[in-house]
Amino acid sequence: MEPRLDYFGHPLAGKVLRHINTAGKLVSDSTLPETVQELVKIRASQINGCGFCTDMHTKDAAHAGETAQRLHLVAAWREATVFTEAERAALEIAEQGTRIADAAGGVTDEAWRDAAKHFDEDQLVALISLLAVINAYNRINVINQQPAGDYQPGQFG
């Protein structure tokens, strides 16, 4: 599979990506736990069918010490016993926030209340922002048919 165009090498795309990356850096530097951030990026990428981002974030998570068992169970997190209640709440927000068109109303009040039990307001802002950023990346890569499999942890700094 070849990408439709060299998005990452295009001057306009470079300008767009700098802005998305700046937003992503603000989120990654937030108090939202890094483990939660990676799980959310993986789950949103799985839902969106973004192989490039799924490859990247599973490899980055493994490189940071995440277990293979937990990585294999992200897609089936509801049935898995290996995630904390806070992680489960974030994964629910990730699913509902990514499936806005399917959810007929977006994130439910129940899911929001559950997340608010585990995360403070700054972390909730970071969670919403993280979902916006990863969904933007997913759409860029899926539309461009960016191939997956060759990513190396830390490749993009």
In the predicted model, what is the mean pLDDT of residues 101-128?
A: 94
Compute the Cα dihedral for 25, 31, 32, 38 and give only its sign: positive
Task: Give the pTM.
Answer: 0.95
Residue 142 is predicted with a pLDDT of 98
Contact 44, 138 (CB under 8 A): yes
Contact 68, 120 (CB under 8 A): no
- Delineate the domains of the chain, giving CATH numbers in brackets: 7-144 (1.20.1290.10)
| pLDDT band, residue 55 (cuts 50/70/90) | very high
CA distance 46 to 55: 10
In the predicted model, what is the mean pLDDT of residues 75-100?
A: 97
Is it the case that residue 156 has pLDDT exceeding 90?
no
Rg (C-alpha) for the chain, rounded Å, is: 15
Per-residue pLDDT tens digits for 18-47: 999 999 999 999 999 999 999 999 999 999
| pLDDT band, residue 1 (cuts 50/70/90) | confident
CA distance 6 to 37: 28
Q: CA torsion angle for 6, 128, 29, 14 (degrees, to 10)? A: 20
Q: CA torsion angle for 72, 118, 101, 18 (degrees, to 10)? A: -80
